[in-house]
Structure 1
């Protein structure tokens, strides 16, 4: 499932980093914190690996 916007891709990357222990969970806020708590590492990898080129700045 590819990311649908740049902010979504960025939030997924932050959540994935925390899932892997590279950053602190307490550093997460907003969407990245929700993603960390509700998504698997594999789901986060799929979103975070989306190429940013061509993604809109806003979803919608």
Structure 2
């Protein structure tokens, strides 16, 4: 459960998500549309939570 001291930081748009994960916008858009990274489309725009992205990429590969 989240405490009041934890802050959720949302990253809006495929271009900004690409900067966070260190990939090109084109590759990031592909990852988003295939559901390969933890993000959602809200009002026609991609959004991801920074912490969720970092946790996702820190997990061991399956």
* Structure possessing the higher relative contact order (Cα contacts under 8 Å, 6 or more residues apart): 1
With normalisation by structure 1, the TM-score equals: 0.38
The structure with more radius of gyration: 2
What is the TM-score of this pair, normalised by structure 2? 0.37
